[in-house]
Amino acid sequence: MCLGYYHPSAMRTGKKSHLPRHVTKERIRVIKNFMPTQNAAFVGSIPENYDRYLGPVLFDPYAADLVSRLNVSADASVLELACGTGIVTRRLRDRLGSEVRLIATDLNDAMLSYAARKFKPEDAIEWKQADAADLPFADQSFDAVVCQFGLMFVPDKEKALSETYRVLKPGGTFLFNVWDAIEYNELAHIAHTIITDFFDDNPPDFYEVPFSFHDVETINSFLSAAGFSEMQFALLRLPAVSPSAEEAARGLVHGNPVINVLRERSESSIPEIEAAVADTVADQCGDDPVCARMQALICNASK
């Protein structure tokens, strides 16, 4: 039986504070710049594979949770950052009233275009390509900003959080989530381990990026520096359920930019890598269906 649970002991609150002693300026500098360009290239067939094979397994369960935490008035304006293929966008539009203005943004045009094709004109989504570190919106424009699993990919997190604070109205909410350490996320850990074994001399580092930004005190420090005065954190474990190990492996290999690196280094090895990932997923998490552990940190910050 595949079970997920909410970890109440992980609820934490934070208030504006100075940098914790162990969170050094060097640590923040590394986090700010930890994303090579190829790790942001969600292009070609990646959006489709991401949406089809990873969306229902990894992202929609957390989208449902994240959106359930958002409470805004009927005439609110909501901004979504890093909307990807529109998984959270769909949840937001279904939950929010028709009078709520919803703007969905992403830096990656391929992902944004894929997302927009999933919606009808009557859904009234405003789509805009935008850099989270340089938002093209006026000060105090939004009642809430929502971002699912996007902040880890932003090189300049300090600037992105300052921009989020700037566009929020007084009393507004910034609601976001980030993955916990990769060791708590079985499917990604399996894929990263297998790929590393194939390229042990210089392994692709994509899977290090999504799981690089989960320390509560570090995140709290970034938020405080941006101006947020009150933060809440909750750790949430959910089951990652896929119809089969084969489909899970397809998404893990072809549904993110790691596939670009694999094609550059050894395209002929991709079927072998994918098969190895599928076999290991089946061995460790079952098959038909797959049921794996995943864990993320949910954050709510107020202006």
Instruction: Give the domain CATH number at 173.
Output: 3.40.50.150
Strands 168-179 and 290-302: antiparallel
Given this model, what pLDDT does residue 14 score? 46
Given this model, what pLDDT does residue 98 score? 84
List pLDDT tens digits, range 48-92. Answer: 999 999 999 999 999 999 999 999 999 999 999 999 999 999 999
Q: How far apart are CA 34 and CA 291, in angstroms?
A: 30
Alpha carbon 242 to its chain's center:
19
**249-252 own/partner pairs: CB under 8 Å, 24+ apart:** 249/191, 249/274, 249/275, 249/277, 249/278, 249/281, 250/49, 250/53, 250/274, 251/49, 251/50, 251/52, 251/53, 251/54, 251/57, 252/53, 252/54, 252/187, 252/188, 252/190, 252/191, 252/277, 252/281
Number of structural domains (the chain) is 1
Given this model, what pLDDT does residue 202 score? 86
**Tokens representing 71?**
């409470």
Domain that residue 46 falls in: 5-302
Given this model, what pLDDT does residue 31 score? 41
Average pLDDT over the chain, rounded to whole?
Answer: 89
pLDDT lower than 70: segments of the chain: 1-40
pTM to 2 decimal places? 0.89
Q: Give the DSSP letter string of 174-208.
A: EEEEEE--GGG-HHHHHHHHHHHHHTTTS---GGG
Strands 125-129 and 101-106: parallel
Given this model, what pLDDT does residue 12 score? 43
Q: Which amino acid is at 212?
A: S
List pLDDT tens digits, range 185-223. Answer: 999 999 999 999 999 788 898 999 999 999 999 999 999
Given this model, what pLDDT does residue 176 score? 98
Distances (CA, A) of 237 to 62, 73, 195, 217, 247: 9, 29, 25, 20, 22
